[in-house]
Every structure is written in structure tokens, then in C-alpha cells.
Structure 1
Amino acid sequence: MKKSFQIICCAVVFVLGSLSLVYAHCEIPCGIYDDPARIELMREHITTIERSMDQIHVISKHMKDAGVEHHNQMVRWVINKEDHAGKLQHIVSRYFMTQRISAGDEKYAEKISVLHQILVEAMKCKQTVDTGHVEKLRDLVDRFETLYLK
């Protein structure tokens, strides 16, 4: 009895601890899918990445004469950019590529190719502050939406 209680407690702790790892959707599968909402969330992450890049550019112009506050704010914008690029990658890989796109889908190869390009551009957004990658992301999400929803 005592051992069963310990196992149940460990399972509860594990489940509760794992809940914070779920960003875009679960992998249970629960059957609750809102593809248009996920695509809109991807766009929101892209806008946030762009805003972060813009702020990094603004702050970097004042870095020579800047105090600690400017450095702190720069770090925060970089972290924000990284975080939202990672969340975008998470939606693409853990929601669409693993749960919503299957090998039998019409235009499977094209959908996977566009999703892969989104992953690569999100990675480039992490590596740089070139807003050209943001524009490529927007175009790719539009292209994916057309392929996937229409």
C-alpha cells in the first residue's frame, strides 16, 4: 500500500512538472486541434521576433555611452528574440510536423519543405538581428497556410 502511494505521488509530480513543457499543444493526443489559431500564434511570434530585433538595433546605437541599464535591456531583448524563435520552432515541429502532417497528405513533400524552411529561418533569427529573416518567415507562413488550409 505504501509503495503504491509513493508511485502515485511520483506520477503526479512528474505530470505536474511536465505541464510547463507544453507550449503549442499536447501530444496525448487529446483531439483538440485549432490549426488556424496555431498559424496565427506563429505570426505573433514572428512579430515579437521583429520587435526584439528592432529594439536591439535601437539600443546598440547607444551602447558606447550606455550604462548598465542599456546592457540589461539589450540582454532582455536578445532573450526575448531567442524565446519566441524557439516557440515558433516548437509549433512547427511538435504540432504540425509530428501531429498534423502525415505522409499520405496531399502535397506532403511541399508542406514539409516549407515547414523545414520555417525552422531554418527561425534559427537564423536566433543567430542574427537581420530582419530579412523575419520577412522570409512571414512569406513562408503565408505559403504554408495556403498549402495547409486551402
Structure 2
Amino acid sequence: MLHSLLQQLDQARPLAQVSAHCDIPCGIYDPTPAQIYALSVLRYCQQIAGLGDSLEDQAKLGRLVADKEKHAEAVKNEVRIIWGDYFKGDLLKKYPDLHTLAHDIMLAGSAAKQSVSSDTAKKLVVLLNEFTKIFWDSKGIETYRAACPYEPKVDTVYPKLG
């Protein structure tokens, strides 16, 4: 019904097609969601490696692979938003290797989608840690590394807040 109504409105007065993350821009950027997605990609790979041959495990394999691929794509999307909307002008001059790093994250995200290798997923986490460190540095916030408090318990970059 809504589709029909929009078509009628469009015929009367054509509507422009729009889409946005927050192209106002909202000014709220944070790499934390990308980090959680990257860590989950690694965790999914670890879980996949532990599966057996039962029908139940094979069904679980399908779900794990599907979610792993969604989360790898979500990493890429979150990084694209920060890279494209937040890092501009003087920030790009301050971090001249950012374009290469963001591109490497895109490639690592694609590789993580195509693979079930924990090593491939770890590379995504490592690159994202580097991106996260740069992001927080651009805000004047120090960072530290610590193992995340849940599986996969790998080094993760966190902002020193407070």
C-alpha cells in the first residue's frame, strides 16, 4: 500500500531518491562497532574450526558462515563511514597513510568473507586496531591495548576515557 501511495505521489511530483548514514553530518563517529564486528568474525572462524561432522554442526556451519560474512561486511561499512565522512582536510594531512590503511581493511574484510581462516580474521582485527588507534589519536585521546574480555581474547585497542 505504501509503495502504491509513493508511486502516485511520485507521478504527481517526482521525488528525489536519497540515502544517508548521517550526511548532515551528525558528528558522532566511533570505531567500536567495527571492532566488535571484527572480533566476532575471528570468533566465528574459531567456532567453525571446532565443528564436527554431525548434521547439527553442519547446520551451525551455515549460520556461522552467514553471520561471519555479514559482520565482515559491517566492518567495511563502518570503516567506510568514518574514513569518508570523518577524516577530511587537515586530518588526512596528519595521517597520510590512512587511505592505504582503509584500503587494506577493505581487502582484509573481503578476504575474511571468503575464508574461514582464523589467521585471515586476525589480520582484519590487527588492521582495525591500527585504524582505531589513529581515530582516537585524531580526537586527542590516548589508547591502550588489552585482551578483550571475551572470546577471542585478543589484543584490542581501547580509548583511555575519564
Query: Following the alignment from structure 1 to structure 2, what is the Cα–Cα distance between the partners of residues 5 and 108?
Result: 46
Q: Percent identity?
A: 19
Q: Name which of 35, 39, 43 aligns with 1:47.
A: 39
Which residue number corresponds to residue 127 of structure 1?
Answer: 114
| Pair 108,73 (structure 1): closer, same or farther in 2 beyond 3 Å | same
User: How many residues are treated as equivalent by the alignment?
Assistant: 130
2:98 is matched with 111
Partner of 2:86: 100
Q: Tell me how far apart the structure 1 counterparts of residues 6 and 72 of structure 2 sit (CA, whole Å).
A: 42
> In structure 1, what is the equivalent of residue 125 of structure 2?
138
| TM-superposed deviation, 1:35 | 2.2
Change in CA separation of 1:6 and 1:73 when aligned onto 2, cut-off 3 Å: same
Distance 1:103 1:130 in 2: 37
Q: State which drifts further: 97-106 or 83-92.
A: 97-106
Contact 2:45 2:121 (8 Å CA) reproduced: no
Per the normalisation by structure 1, the TM-score is 0.71
Structure 1 alignment gaps of length 5 or more: 19-24
Specify every segment of 5 or more residues in structure 2 that has no aligned partner in the other structure, as ranges.
138-162
Rate the CA distance shift 1:7–1:145 in 2: closer, same or farther, 3 A.
same
Structure having the larger proportion of residues in helix: 1
Q: Is the 8 A contact 2:112 2:120 kept in 1?
A: yes
**Closer, same or farther: CA 146–106 of 1 in aligned 2, 3 Å:** farther
Name the SS for the 1:77 alignment partner.
helix
> Once the two structures are superposed, what CA deviation does each residue of 1:127-148 show, in whole Å capped at 9, x if it has no partner?
1112122322222222222323
What value does the CA root-mean-square deviation take over the aligned residues? Answer: 3.0
How far apart are the structure 1 equivalents of 2:9 and 2:83? Answer: 34
